[in-house]
Amino acid sequence: MQKKIEKIIEKFRPYIQMHGGDVVLLEIIDGIVKIKITGACVSCGMADVTFNQMLGGMIKEEIPEIRDIVIEN
């Protein structure tokens, strides 16, 4: 599961880096994915939408066992 999530993040990463940010997978516990955002993403008002809806949607579509995405700064 971790490798699948990392692969999805790698596909998504260029979009984030284009805007001055980055994302790192921290852990997966009981269907909850914890990620860390850095750079411009930390102060961006759209980070929640970008990571929870866009990235989270991609992850949940590929891996239905994932229940939630949690962002840690």
Q: What is the CATH number of the domain that holds 56?
A: 3.30.300.130
φ, ψ for residue 61, nearest 5 deg: -70, -40
Q: What is the span of the domain harbouring residue 58?
A: 2-72
The single-letter code of the amino acid at 59 is: I
Q: How confident is the model at residue 50 (pLDDT cuts 50, 70, 90)?
A: confident
- Mean pLDDT, rounded, for 1-17: 94
Please give the pLDDT value at position 35: 95
Find where tokens 């990463």 sit.
13
Predicted TM-score (pTM) of this structure: 0.87
Q: How confident is the model at residue 44 (pLDDT cuts 50, 70, 90)?
A: confident
Domain count, the chain: 1
Task: Compute the mean pLDDT over every residue in the chain, rounded to the nearest whole number.
Answer: 92
pLDDT reading at 42 higher than 90: no
Please give the pLDDT value at position 2: 94
